[in-house]
Amino acid sequence: MKKILVTGATGLVGKYLKEIMPDANYVSSKDYNLLIQNDVKKMFKELKPEIVIHLAARVGGVHHNIIEPVKYFEENIIMNTFMINESFNNNVNKFLGLLSSCIYPDNIDIYPIKENYLFNGAPHSDLFSYSYSKRCMAIQIDAYRKKYKSNFSYLIPCNLYGEFDKFDEIQGHFVGALINKILIAKKNGEKSIQLFGDGAPLRQFMHAKDLAFVIKEVINKDIKENFNVGNNENFSILKIAKLALSVCDAETLEIEFDKNKPNGQMRKDIDLSLMKSLLPDFKPTLLKDGLKEVYKKLEKK
């Protein structure tokens, strides 16, 4: 069996991937600092991977992106550059990187968004630094493919959620922060929860365990294409919040929106035609089922 290296071992996707690909080498910042080139070189020398799945990234919610744009740009640029370059230098057979649907243009006329629309305009201003750092990884991967015929590729997933998320209002993703708000409100006997914006933006949310499954399929089947990964469900933030209240047995809580806070991108649903052609038997988890699963696991903690 080929030696597989997975970065971002303690992250949302990494933990799910470890459950279904237990024989890979999983590393986190406690093992190697991917922002230091010598550490990256040391990692490749010691682990000698033949396949690299690069999940590590500086990630967080809209608000944290706004207040820390330098970190989101520089840290992702640095670690991605080192990881791809060292993968090539060490003759890695396959490299798979993870992008995000927020890298797509903010102002676009055709939805859902296809993979070839990636550079048809600027990403949303609230996630500008993070989005461009991920676009740069796409450019770097494609450059290696073009120049050296390398088996390097990337996936572009929609928004993710899962039990291993950061359940924090500032640094966490929307669904994780939402469920955490509901848990706290129920515990404290509060009458409402407050969310950013006005509830109008549309979002696709995918359970992170589903993305882990897709990653495993890409590796096992040696799929070479770059493609979107997601769930067909495209709901408003308001609808998602109501759905979460329902599955969390908290329908008596009112939803208040702080319109002084940013909405983020109003719409960014991605086209899944290529994914379905490559993985015709893949069936993503329905949002209501995934929310219920995450809530029940968190409630027990």
Burial 98-112 (b: 16+ CB within 10 A, else e): bbbbbbbbbeeeeeb
pLDDT of residue 155: 98
Cα angle vertex 99, ends 173, 135, to 5°?
115
Domain spans of the chain, in order of start:
4-163+204-233+267-285
How many Å apart are CA 262 and CA 21, to the nearest integer? 38
In degrees to the nearest 10, what's the CA dihedral of 102, 108, 113, 117?
-90
pLDDT of residue 75: 97
pLDDT of residue 170: 59
**Pairing, β 152-157 against β 227-229:** parallel
Cα angle vertex 87, ends 61, 58, to 5°?
10
Secondary structure (DSSP) of 141-166 = HHHHHHHH---EEEEEE-EEE-TTS-
What does each of the 301 residues of the chain score in pLDDT, given as a tens digit?
789 999 999 999 999 999 999 999 999 999 999 999 999 999 999 999 999 999 999 987 777 888 999 999 999 999 999 999 999 999 999 999 999 999 999 989 899 999 999 999 999 988 899 999 999 999 999 999 999 999 999 999 999 999 888 766 655 678 888 998 999 999 999 999 999 899 999 999 999 999 999 999 999 999 999 999 999 999 999 999 999 999 999 999 999 999 988 888 889 999 999 999 999 999 999 999 999 999 888 777 6
Active site residue 144: no
Neighbours of 208 (CB within 10 A): 25
How many Å apart are CA 49 and CA 46, to the nearest integer? 9
Q: How far is CA 198 from CA 165, 195, 255, in A?
A: 24, 8, 10
The dihedral through the CA atoms of 7, 13, 18, 20 has a sign that is: negative
pLDDT of residue 284: 96
pLDDT of residue 168: 64
pLDDT of residue 176: 85
**Pairing, β 94-98 against β 254-258:** unpaired
pLDDT of residue 192: 95
Q: For the chain, where are the alpha helices, taking DSSP H only?
A: 12-20, 37-47, 62-67, 69-89, 128-148, 174-188, 208-221, 237-247, 273-278, 287-300
Q: Of the residues 130, 154, 161, 295, which is catalytic?
A: 130
How many Å apart are CA 12 and CA 26, to the nearest integer? 13
List the CATH code of the domain at 4-163+204-233+267-285.
3.40.50.720
Closest CA to 87 of 58, 123, 44, 121: 44
pLDDT of residue 145: 97
3 state SS of 241: helix
